[in-house]
Amino acid sequence: MSKTNLDQGDKPIFTYWHVWTDEEGVSHQTRAELTDFKKESMGGDADEQWNNHLLAAEAKVLFTELPVGWMGTWHENPKPQWIIPLSGKWYVETMDGQHVEMGPGEVSFGGDQNTTANAQGHKGHVSGTVGEEPAKLMIIQLLEEKWIGAKPGDFS
């Protein structure tokens, strides 16, 4: 069995949407990147691959299905959380008016805790399903308070 040669110049970049709260309590979405990949084997005789050991934390993993037509009225993410659509599509709209639709494999980090209600009483974000099929999501909630307030680039 031959080993794969991974050139350091081929280091991957993963992008994700980062939902966050600014100093005035307004939520935003910013495209961010994960860049800290290192070549390593997962063990045994497995070829090297690119791994990003993003964080070690106390966490809860949820799988959820949002029915067709589901809408989450204005709310904050209950915990800082990674959200990965597995099938279907969903959207997130933040207080700044940014509207992002995401499908399978498009990752979002929900970190809009501690927003301040605007003139319309909106806090956090509104979200919902898109299209004629449910959105199945995998959610990894970070349970430690130190992740509240993470900004785009903090996970590079």
Tokens coding 29? 């979405």
In angstroms, the CA 36 to CA 52 distance is: 6
- Dihedral class, residue 134 (left if φ above 0, else alpha if ψ from -120 to 50, else beta): beta
Instruction: Write out the chain's pLDDT in tens, 156 residues.
Output: 334 445 556 899 999 999 999 999 999 999 999 999 999 999 989 999 999 999 999 999 999 999 999 999 999 999 999 999 999 999 999 999 999 999 999 999 999 999 999 999 999 999 999 999 999 999 999 999 999 999 999 987
Q: Which two tokens stand for residue 49?
A: 């691959």
The per-residue pLDDT for range 5-29, each reduced to its tens digit, is 455 568 999 999 999 999 999 999 9
If one looks up domain 13-38+48-147 in CATH, what number appears?
A: 2.60.120.10
The residue ranges of every structural domain in the chain are 13-38+48-147
Average pLDDT taken over every residue of the chain: 94
